[in-house]
Amino acid sequence: MGKNHKIQVMELFAGVGGFRLGLERANPDLFEINWANQWEPSRKSQDAFDCYARNFNNGTHVNEDIATISEEAFQQAAPDLIVGGFPCQDYSVARSLSGEKGIQGKKGVLFWEIRRAIAHTHPKYVLLENVDRLLKSPSRQRGRDFAVMLATLRDLDYSVEWRMINAADYGFAQRRRRVFIFAYKNGLSFDCEQGQYSKEEIVFKNGFFAKPFAVKDEPYKNRIDSVELPEDIVEISDEFSFTFHPAGVMRNGEIFTAHVDPIQIEPTTLGEILLDETEIDEKFYLSKEEEEKFDYMRGPKKIERQSADGHKYYFSEGGMSPTDSLDKPGRTMLTSEGSKNRSTHIVEVNGRKRRLTPIECERLNNFPDNWTAGMTDRMRYFCMGNALVVGLIEIMGKRIEKIEKQNEVVDVQLELSLS
């Protein structure tokens, strides 16, 4: 790869910088994150943005509502790669008022801002992250939202791969499932190479995800499906329903999807990422009353309740272990981590029960210790509950690096043949 070659990166919905951190770990000389946006609506304090700006010195950091950012600002950033994790929302679309073909996404749906950025910059690659329920939402029309996204990328001239990855399956310390979406511009040498394979070969052996995140040759319970997306995105919004499995590929509107079975790597355990007990502040240990409260919340329940119209029903909840096993990876960390909530991790060390510290939560997501220092503990938990597992992005960054090397070799060969 050329000595001064750089991939210019635009980071949208940057949070505390998990994408950037992962890419810079993959190759700091290749990935140059020159423009990033982070904005937390209806909050006076912009803790995530402040954390991002504190940890990263170079590049343009924008703390504004993305909907107010001009197309010119996107174009000036001139990204080769757009990355971002964005909220799962309702992606229903409609014809414009005058009835011509086109889309009107619901106001506030942030995916349309990603579309706007892509449409005005035409990057080679797009790497996005979302919660796993995206593949099945909305419940009344399964798969519609993801199909709208795929059709949008198809219409912008991209092919797309996706994979739902549980970080613990590939050696990390948290059982965190997230959908990753990799889109690449049609016509790149990577696109031409992928076109030589069947869609099944892409998903199981040769695609963007299959190379670094290996899977077994056979799908889980033989779950595979294929479909062609309708041309009209409004028709997709109104009528389309389909079962998207955890992995798949879309090329020219043709979809192949499979429930892949990961070839697992031994995970890091919760016990391995804990601080030494001599470093734990007393405030993280549970009082007797808190122990009893957590025992109740984590225990099985069957409670009679009454709805507003007087209807009686039972609320049931299965039991879970009073403490989290130190011999397994942590459970999925939520934004409520650290609060009095059954989803909060509780560990028992030397006979004492306690919450995880903010540093341990950073370790669960593969961030450096004290990455979020400077904000309240509550916000540190919240930011880590929203974050991704950095090591996964590092692996994907290395995959993009290989693809970019391949592109460069093909470009040089093309130049030589034309000269």
How far is Cα 241 from Cα 24, in angstroms, rounded to an integer? 39
What's the pLDDT score for residue 43? 80
Output the pTM of the full model.
0.93
* Residue 360 pLDDT greater than 50, yes or no: yes
- Domains of the chain, by residue range, sit at 7-265+389-418, 270-366
In angstroms, what CA-CA distances link 247 with 76, 172, 256, 419? 34, 20, 9, 42
Edge-to-edge order in the sheet of strand 7-12: 60-62, 31-37, 7-12, 81-85, 125-131, 177-185, 158-166, 247-251, 254-258, 224-228
Mean pLDDT of the region 127-134: 94
What pLDDT digit, counting tens, does each position of 378-392 carry? 999 999 999 999 999
Question: 């020159």: which residue's tokens?
Answer: 34
Instruction: Note if the bond before 138 is cis, omega within 30 degrees.
Output: yes
* Residue 149 pLDDT greater than 80, yes or no: yes
3-state class (DSSP) for residue 62:
strand
* Residue 128 pLDDT greater than 60, yes or no: yes
Q: Which residues are catalytic?
A: 88
Question: 């971002």: which residue's tokens?
Answer: 84
**% of the chain beyond a pLDDT of 70:** 93
Q: Sorting pLDDT into bands at 50, 70 and 90, what band is 303?
A: confident
Q: What is the DSSP string of 258-279?
A: E---B--BPPPPHHHHPPPGGG
CATH, range 7-265+389-418 = 3.40.50.150
Backbone angles phi, psi at 62, to 5 degrees: -115, 120
Other CB atoms within a 10 A radius of the CB of residue 287 amount to 9
What's the pLDDT score for residue 366? 98
Beta-carbon contacts of residue 147 (< 8 Å; ≥ 6 apart) = 229, 236, 240, 242, 244
Other CB atoms within a 10 A radius of the CB of residue 76 amount to 12
Q: Sorting pLDDT into bands at 50, 70 and 90, what band is 18?
A: very high
Q: Sorting pLDDT into bands at 50, 70 and 90, what band is 86?
A: confident
* Residue 148 pLDDT greater than 70, yes or no: yes
E-only strand ranges, 224-361: 224-228, 247-251, 254-258, 301-306, 312-317, 346-349, 352-355
**% of the chain beyond a pLDDT of 90:** 83
Average confidence score pLDDT of the chain = 92
* Residue 146 pLDDT greater than 90, yes or no: yes
- Cα-based angle 162, 163, 166 (whole degrees, multiple of 5): 155
Please name which of 210, 181, 199 lies closest in space to residue 251, comparing C-alpha atoms.
199
What pLDDT digit, counting tens, does each position of 307-338 carry? 888 888 888 888 899 999 999 999 999 999 99
The bridge status of strand 125-131 relative to strand 81-85 is parallel
Q: Sorting pLDDT into bands at 50, 70 and 90, what band is 101?
A: very low
Q: How far is CA 102 from the centre of its chain?
A: 28
How far is Cα 110 from Cα 78, in angstroms, rounded to an integer? 20
What's the pLDDT score for residue 42? 76
Mean pLDDT of the region 333-361: 96
